[in-house]
Amino acid sequence: MQKNPYGVPTRGENHTFRLYTDDGDDQKNVPWSQKIFQEDTSHKCPTYITQTPPCQGSCPSGHNIRGWLDIVRGMEKPSGDMSWQEYAFKSATDSNPFPSIMGRVCPAPCEDGCNRNEVEDTVGINAVEQFIGDNAKAEGYTFEINAADTGKKVAIIGGGPGGLAAALKLRRQGHAVTVFEKYDQLGGMMMYGIPGYRVPRDILAHEIDRIIATGVETRMNTKVGVDVTIEDLEKEFDSVLFAIGAMSGRTLPVEGGDAQNCVSGVAFLEAYNQGRLQHITGKVICIGGGDTSIDVVSVARRLGNIDNAADKDRPERIIFNDTAHDVVDTSKRLGADVLLTTRSTIENMPAAQEEIDDATREGVDIQGQLSPVEVVTNADGRATALRYVRLEEDGSTPIEGSEFDIECELIVSAIGQSVDGEGIDDSFFNDHGFIDADKNYQIPNKPGFFVCGDVVRPHLLTTAIGQASIVAESIGDYLAGNNQHARPKVDVNYFDLAEKLDEWDLSPTEYEKGGNPASDTATADFAIHNYDDRAFASIIPHTELFLGHFDHEDRNQRSHKVVDVDNVLGNFDERLVGYSEEEAQKEADRCMSCGLCFECDNCVMYCPQDAVFRVKKDQATLGRYVDTDYSKCVGCHICADVCPTGYIQMGLGE
């Protein structure tokens, strides 16, 4: 079957997607405008159209969310004897190889876009994803590499989420992959930028090892630009992918911001995640408002404070000198005094509200509408206080005469990230220290060089994973000598009815030349009747759904282990409690399957002509549950009106 670059079968020689026409009527010489509506009938008939749901359109990694929710709820079933749990795992990891991790830490823009919000509350997409990932670990599911070896070699600089996701995609194409990592462990920001009570290290290690087991080579403790040059990579590899991330923090851009006890949030978290930083000394102030700043203050509350620590044990000495605290000292810890300030109002902080609520309950003092203006230092160059000015509610206009000082022992700046490009030619970087990319994530004017992740623009982990999918396709095209194809308007992983039919050995037969290419498809077996795939071009809004079909169903919230001011000290246990299998299925069942039939039978029950009917079970698949007898259809459009998912639309029948 012919396909365009988006995976949609073409209307070419095979004619697999063709509208029905009635031989007895299509020869009538009637003006088009008169043939559309006549009394209570029309010449429009049901057309089955898939569109991208907004959860998926909102997901930076382009997850086929609707697809794996359909599997969990039991609507889409695997062929053969594969379990639904493994089938859901395979579907989810087509886009994201870290379901356990993303199910825990992704801020879930998919849930913000969920059309279920128009009924009562979003579907708990993250929680179901966590279940899929955790179950996969328990069952030992692995990634299969079925592609033949291409003989091509790709170097990936950086073993974070983007680099590892791209490595898996490239291995699935049959290319040899080597990941260069400057640290002694893979994971990037997942390993060094997020605390272990949010990303359990055994789960992270498992999801990374599952990728490496596909045949990915690693060269650890190897910094490209220092230990090996770009020129060396060009000689050894056919293509190079920059996935180095943005794991350097920014200093506080005020007078005194370079004081010895002013550190970046990234450096603070790296020292903690490496096990070196085990307590703090005195009051900590963190400037930020995003997720990194929340992680900093939450870690500080857990580490606790030690009074009268030796100079060598001050946090900044541990962070900058790459030394470590004596574990014995942790027995002396007391509760830490931790303040988080942000320029915005607290209500408008960019961090996830759930994380803000947790930090507040754990005893973090959060104050909004404050902007640092100066670090107050002593004769030794140490910060002793941070001077602030109060801001108007807009978060940018200073209030005259409102300056005041807050004494502190450590200042942590979590206001942004930068790229460590040491030893790499400046020509790769733009004026802001990042790497520019086109829509295919090629580096302009650098043939064979590609880029993904925070080195393009710091954003979410799931953004880096989504870019990895695109860049892997682009690298594949480059290595095959093909031109880079235009990316679709909606650039995600789609449900493909043609692939689904093929999976169940129900694909249309080849079109035989000599037949009438414009009609006679009502009973022909070379056509998928009155079906159109618009997923690559449109996202279905709630206005195209029949929301009245859906009953109010409360969301099944994940449980949390409550950490508060009384038990936060030294509490590094995971807070999330994942779904049981029953809870995952119950929550997945709340999905409205926007843009794709979910087999509710409304169209069959409400059709006054009995024109809409269920496809025979041995011919049915997801997306082909109903069909229409167009000799009975009068074009009344009732089926479209009562379709909850917007899958049925009225199209011309002639």
Structure tokens at 208: 């990374």
Comparing 31 with 122, the larger pLDDT belongs to 122
pLDDT at residue 121 in the model: 96
For the ranges 184-193, 518-527, 575-584, the lowest mean pLDDT is seen at 518-527
- On the question of pLDDT at 647 being above 50, the answer is yes
Structure tokens at 559: 């449980």
Beta-carbon count within 10 A of 384 CB: 16
Burial code of 224-251, b = ≥16 C-beta within 10 A, e = fewer? bbeebebeebeeebbbbbbbbbbbbbbe
Burial code of 301-328, b = ≥16 C-beta within 10 A, e = fewer? bbbbbbeebeeebbbbbbbeeeeebeee
Say which residue the tokens 């949030």 belong to. 265
- For residues 172 and 147, the answer to whether their CB atoms sit within 8 Å is yes
Convert the pLDDT of each residue in 245-298 to its tens digit.
999 998 999 999 999 999 999 999 999 999 999 999 999 999 999 999 999 999
The topology under which CATH files domain 249-416 is FAD/NAD(P)-binding domain (3.50.50)
pLDDT at residue 562 in the model: 93
Q: What are the residues facing 284 on neighbouring strands?
A: 338, 410
d(CA 400, CA 231): 55
- On the question of pLDDT at 517 being above 60, the answer is no
Q: What mean pLDDT do residues 358-365 have?
A: 96
- On the question of pLDDT at 605 being above 60, the answer is yes
| Residue 79: pLDDT band with limits 50, 70, 90 | confident
Listed by start position, the domains of the chain span: 1-52+494-551+590-654, 56-141+556-584, 153-246+419-480, 249-416
pLDDT at residue 11 in the model: 33
d(CA 549, CA 394): 42
Number of Cα atoms under 13 Å in the Cβ half of residue 151: 1
Convert the pLDDT of each residue in 61-75 to its tens digit.
999 999 999 999 999
The mean pLDDT value of the chain amounts to 90
| Residue 631: pLDDT band with limits 50, 70, 90 | confident
- On the question of pLDDT at 327 being above 80, the answer is no
- On the question of pLDDT at 234 being above 50, the answer is yes
pLDDT at residue 521 in the model: 56
d(CA 474, CA 485): 8
Helix (H, G, I), strand (E, B) or coil at 49: strand
Beta-carbon count within 10 A of 201 CB: 13
- For residues 167 and 160, the answer to whether their CB atoms sit within 8 Å is no
d(CA 558, CA 124): 8
- On the question of pLDDT at 190 being above 90, the answer is yes
pLDDT at residue 18 in the model: 38
Structure tokens at 635: 């074009």
The answer to whether the predicted template modeling score (pTM) of the entire model surpasses 0.75 is: yes
> How far separated are the first and last CA of the chain, in Å rounded?
25
Burial code of 556-565, b = ≥16 C-beta within 10 A, e = fewer? bebeeeebee
For the ranges 43-52, 267-276, 290-299, 458-467, the lowest mean pLDDT is seen at 43-52
Helix (H, G, I), strand (E, B) or coil at 644: coil
- For residues 527 and 25, the answer to whether their CB atoms sit within 8 Å is no
| Residue 309: pLDDT band with limits 50, 70, 90 | confident
Q: What mean pLDDT do residues 45-66 have?
A: 94
Structure tokens at 555: 């969301």
Structure tokens at 304: 């606790």
For the ranges 22-36, 221-235, 378-392, the lowest mean pLDDT is seen at 22-36
> Which one is the CATH code of 153-246+419-480: 3.40.630.30, 3.40.50.150, 3.50.50.60, 3.40.190.10?
3.50.50.60
| Residue 26: pLDDT band with limits 50, 70, 90 | very low
Measured in whole angstroms, how far is the alpha carbon of residue 350 from the centre of its chain? 17
d(CA 372, CA 364): 19
